Amino acid sequence: MTAALLVVAMQVSLIETEAPNADTLMPVVVGLVERARREGVPVVWVADQSVVPDPQIHPVFKPRPGEAVLKPPTCDAFRDSTLAGALGGRAVERLVVCGLRSERCIARTVRQAPDFGFAVTLVQDGHSTRDREGESHREVIARVNAELAARDAVEVVEAGVVDFS
């Protein structure tokens, strides 16, 4: 099954405000990007244009020529974007998803992917968010992982066991 790595909202302002565990998240995402590139797996970047003040992809990540950089108007990677077409044109059947805003961007993207014909591997330790309404960021991440793992066509695995083949 042909896979692509989908890196969602790893943007300067979000990393500063939405990732209290940036020191552990960033190396996981960097490692996934490096592995995908080594294995010839397409890397697709999603940059939510509603992010302020700095919507740029964090400088530690440098999209390469040929890697799609999509800029939907909201954090939903499929809504009002060319994501499905960009992936379909590459014969991608499965998305490996990592990035920011677990309960928003990540959850919405993972929930919608099967509707567009994609299976999903959510990287359990490759997404994050800030503390929310009585839940720590760790609790939000665990809840999102559990909720999404219960869905059809979605698996949740640690970065170290992600299989891009």
Q: Residue 56, Cβ neighbours under 10 Å: how many?
A: 11
Summarised one tens digit per residue, pLDDT across range 38-67 is 999 999 999 988 899 999 999 999 999 999
Say whether 1 sits in a helix, a strand or coil.
Answer: coil
- Contact assessment for residue 81 and residue 106, using Cβ atoms and an 8 Å cutoff: no
Q: Which of 1, 60, 68, 66 is nearest to 30 (CA)?
A: 60
pTM, two decimals, is 0.95
Average pLDDT by stretches of 10, the chain with 165 residues: 93 95 98 98 93 94 93 82 78 96 96 94 98 95 98 97 95
Q: Checking DSSP bridges between strand 154-157 and strand 69-70, what pairing results, if any?
A: unpaired
The domain ranges of the chain are 3-161
Q: Which CATH superfamily includes the segment(s) 3-161?
A: Isochorismatase-like (3.40.50.850)
